[in-house]
Amino acid sequence: VQLQASGGGLVQAGGSLRLACAASGRTFSTYTLGWFRQAPGKEHEFVVAIPRHTSRPYYADSVRGRFTVSIDNAENTVFLQMNSLKPEDTAVYYCAARAGGLNVRHIHYDYWGQGTLVTVSS
């Protein structure tokens, strides 16, 4: 299983970015796809997870209402639309996958993309 994340960059506070994570190698019909982030000197932080079989996302409180996750099944790609970005959203964002249901802990994810840096300036 390979995950390839893209779309990070530098944006001013209040701006938007869209991240993409292309998955390949296996069928993801029963997987949960997730986004995590890690700011410098901090632990991985859960952002959102979406089980493929329900397509019902679960968001962290810190991003709910600002971030939206979606899946393009034809392209096996998961997107993270990030609006109203804040400086505290600055981090390396990782997409991840696990064979099973929703989970908010990064240690329960088996497959990881390489990470993409999001920097929000004030």
Q: Which amino acid is at 115?
A: G
Residue given tokens 């109203």 in the structure block: 84
Say if CB 29 and CB 121 are below 8 A apart.
no
Q: Which residues of 32-45 are buried (b: 16+ CB within 10 A; e: fewer)?
A: bbbbbbeeeeeebb
**Strand (E) or helix (H) holding 92:** strand 91-99
* Ordered per-residue pLDDT tens for the chain, 122 residues: 799 999 999 999 999 999 999 988 776 667 899 999 999 999 999 999 999 888 899 999 999 999 999 998 888 899 999 999 999 999 999 999 999 899 999 999 999 999 999 999 99
Rounded Cα–Cα distance for residues 51 and 7 (Å): 22
Rounded Cα–Cα distance for residues 71 and 13 (Å): 26
**Residue 48, φ and ψ in degrees, nearest 5:** -160, 150
